[in-house]
Amino acid sequence: MKAIITGITGQDGSYLAEFLLKKNYDVYGLYRRSSVDTFERINHIKDKVNLITADLTDQNSLNETIKDIGPDEIYNLAAQSFVPVSWTQPALTANVTAVGALRILEAVRHINPKIKVYQASSSEMFGKVQEIPQTEKTPFYPRSPYGVSKVFAFWIMKNYRESYNMFTTNGILFNHESPRRGLQFVTRKITNTAAKIKLGLQKELLLGNLDAKRDWGYAPDYVEAMWLMMQHKIPEDFVVATNEVHSVREFCEHAFSHLGLNYEDYVKLDKKFLRPAEVDQLIGDYGKAEKVLGWKPRVTFKELVKIMVDADLEKLKKEQ
Ligand code: NAP
Ligand code: GDD
């Protein structure tokens, strides 16, 4: 089997590449050209995957790559994925995160409509939630240009499924984290800074809304769900979550206490991290994924926090 992963240099791309290699896939990773090396997360598997430069904003590069490789499956994970940047760069976010998904579909439709496409859809589409917990049937109410872009990508996948009989599947993934999470996202920001504080490298942690609640899972568990969706006989959409909710404050409490510290001594509010519109609470019901795909999360919230804090502490000690 041949698979293309867009966004292979990202958190999920790196775990999915490892997962597919273990299943004996030929893995082709698309990455965008950069003046610096962006392979930190995939250095350990670089000689086992094929890396090709292409950009989701450039139709021709996608067409040529898909034509040359002739994949069985495409996992579209690339996106402008950081919610705050979607307010400062809304047009770029729409171009990459929304229209980028359409460009993949257009390439597949013209080259070989039998290629299966996975779309990295997001719980951010639920935004101002209309139902608790959220399921595949919950109406969307996105609260950021990022969320709106993901809603477009979700519906265009569904539209091409119904219009052209293509195999397109949306994984509606709730927040999932790991030691490879980008440093700007709140979980990694907390674990990395807490570890720095423990080692005397930093004095405080500046955060925005501590009361926001998320359904946080472990990224390696979630890439397995992506693959299972692609092996399912019919293309459908699935919520992937833990069905547990915790606040940013709770995440801080656990991370600092794992290091023998009290978060209240270090965490300070910085208004610049507040958002123009907030998603207050997300919690996903993964019942359909469990029933149809036999998938369920393995790592608990407490284990996740511990994994991330320990990894950051270890990394920083090595750097020292
Ligand atoms: P990530 O770490 O931010 O990775 C995003 C990837 O997209 C990176 O490889 C990035 O390349 C690439 N990219 C950005 N713009 C591009 C462009 N114009 N052309 C080609 N590639 C481009 O995100 P992640 O956490 O792995 O998430 C993977 C996907 O799942 C994203 O679509 C995200 O929106 C979605 N999602 C994530 C979560 C979550 O909790 N992690 C939940 C639901 C959905 P560089 O390395 O060069 O920046
Ligand atoms: N990033 C960040 N930085 N978030 C903060 C901070 C801070 O200093 N302080 C509080 N928060 C709050 C945010 O306001 C938000 O409510 C919550 O922490 C989580 O923020 P992020 O970790 O940035 O993730 P996100 O939920 O906005 O988006 C992530 O999950 C989505 C799935 O629901 C991203 O991975 C998206 O790409 C993904 O689709």
Q: How do strand 205-207 and strand 238-240 relate by DSSP bridges?
A: unpaired
Candidate of 5, 6, 12 to mutate for ligand 1, largest count of ligand atoms within 8 Å of Cβ: 12
Same domain, 235 and 265: no
Strands (E), the chain: 2-6, 26-31, 50-53, 73-76, 116-122, 168-173, 176-177, 205-207, 213-214, 217-218, 238-240, 246-247, 267-269
Same domain, 210 and 72: no
Same domain, 134 and 250: no
CA gap 126, 239 in Å, rounded: 11
Same domain, 18 and 116: yes
Same domain, 111 and 78: yes
CATH code for the domain in which residue 307 is found: 3.90.25.10
The DSSP bridge partners found for residue 177 are 218
pLDDT at 65: 98
Ligand 1 touching residue 80 (CB < 6 A) = yes
Residue nearest to atom 5 of ligand 2 (CA): 186
pTM above 0.95, yes or no: yes
Same domain, 162 and 190: no
Q: Which amino acid is at 249?
A: R
CATH code for the domain in which residue 172 is found: 3.40.50.720
Cα pseudo-dihedral 110, 71, 122, 285, rounded to 10? 120
Same domain, 139 and 253: no
Residue 38 · residue 15 · CB < 8 Å: no
pLDDT at 121: 99
Residues lower than pLDDT 70 in the chain: none
How many structural domains compose the chain?
2
Same domain, 57 and 153: yes
Q: Is residue 34 part of a domain?
A: yes
Same domain, 119 and 224: yes
What is the domain range of residue 165? Answer: 2-176+217-240
CA gap 135, 148 in Å, rounded: 18
- 225: tokens are 């769900």
